[in-house]
């Protein structure tokens, strides 16, 4: 499934490059593909059991994974569209230093465990730029504000194959969030950009921060690098999680 996603992303970018960009003169289009080095930390529990540490109990470690973004700036009074797909999947294995419980299953220290955590998510934002700001700053500063709808595909599994024990839980989480973006372009070749998505309610919160420097070495194409951090607190369907995912990323794409 992961290979299919990456191939689809590549085809998507090539298709945009292959079509003359003058055909999209009435639109602003941006498509990018990148890799994010994701380092997980935090805790997880299921059905009221004690918190499990992602590193020390589940042995999850950093992993670099592909992501894709696409923006379409529409004319007139229509909101602009921003789509982003962010796969997240971590695997770990090791020998426990203490017994742990996940759901109704107890895993003891007599055999190694294998663990998996998936937090794939998909964002669709509708946004508008602040009126006249870009004109007033001579195209140097732009600020976007809008709403973001996120779907998170959550799955956590723990196996102890030697003892034929396994426990897992999966769910889909739908999250409405506020979206804000800023672009500062002091010269035509370089831009500093930031994005924030977030919401806080009840026992849950979801925050996503992106900061990057972007360079346009030749017309249409760009490369960028930066840092992304997510803070996710879940309390749904017996799952409680307080997780942070962070790390640097690189990206390349087309924009016209």
**pLDDT for 37-69, tens place per residue?**
999 999 999 998 889 999 999 999 999 999 999
Distance in angstroms (rounded) separating the CA atoms of residues 251 and 230: 18
* pLDDT tens readout for residues 154-199: 999 999 999 999 999 999 999 999 999 999 999 989 999 999 999 9
Share of the chain above pLDDT 90, in %: 83
Q: Is the pLDDT of residue 248 over 80?
A: yes
Residue 210, number of CB atoms within 10 A of its CB: 19
* pLDDT tens readout for residues 199-238: 999 899 999 999 999 999 998 999 999 999 999 999 999 9
pLDDT at 188: 86
* pLDDT tens readout for residues 18-40: 445 444 556 789 999 999 999 99
Q: Could you give the residue ranges of the DSSP H alpha helices within 32-100?
A: none
Distance in angstroms (rounded) separating the CA atoms of residues 224 and 32: 10
pLDDT at 22: 45
Q: Is the pLDDT of residue 11 over 50?
A: no
Domains and CATH numbers, the chain: 2-255 (2.40.128)
Mean pLDDT of 81-109: 95
pLDDT at 5: 52
pLDDT band at residue 145 under the 50/70/90 scheme? very high
Distance in angstroms (rounded) separating the CA atoms of residues 201 and 174: 13
Residue 24 DSSP SS3: helix
Better pLDDT: 1 or 66: 66
């Amino acid at each position: 499934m992961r290979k299919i996603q990456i191939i689809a992303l590549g085809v998507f970018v090539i298709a945009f490059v292959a079509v003359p960009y003058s055909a999209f003169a009435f639109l602003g289009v941006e498509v990018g593909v990148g890799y994010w080095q994701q380092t997980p930390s935090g805790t997880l529990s299921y059905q009221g059991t004690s918190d499990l540490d992602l590193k020390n109990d589940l042995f999850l470690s950093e992993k670099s994974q592909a992501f894709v973004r696409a923006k379409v700036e529409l004319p007139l009074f229509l909101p602009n569209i921003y789509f982003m797909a962010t796969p997240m999947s971590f695997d770990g294995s090791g020998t426990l230093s203490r017994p742990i419980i996940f759901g109704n299953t107890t895993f003891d220290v007599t055999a190694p465990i294998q663990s998996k955590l998936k937090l794939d998510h998909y964002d669709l934002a509708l946004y508008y730029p602040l009126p006249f700001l870009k004109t007033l700053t001579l195209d140097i500063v732009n600020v976007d504000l809008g709403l973001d709808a996120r779907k998170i595909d959550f799955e956590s599994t723990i196996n102890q194959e030697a003892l034929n024990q396994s426990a897992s839980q999966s769910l889909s989480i739908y999250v409405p969030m506020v979206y804000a973006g800023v672009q500062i372009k002091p010269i035509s070749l370089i831009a500093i950009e930031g994005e924030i998505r977030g919401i806080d309610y009840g026992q849950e919160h979801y925050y996503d921060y992106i900061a990057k420097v972007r360079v346009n070495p030749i017309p249409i194409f760009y490369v960028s690098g930066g840092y992304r951090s997510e803070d996710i607190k879940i309390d749904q369907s017996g799952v409680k999680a307080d997780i942070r995912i962070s790390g640097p990323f690189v990206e390349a794409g087309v924009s016209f």
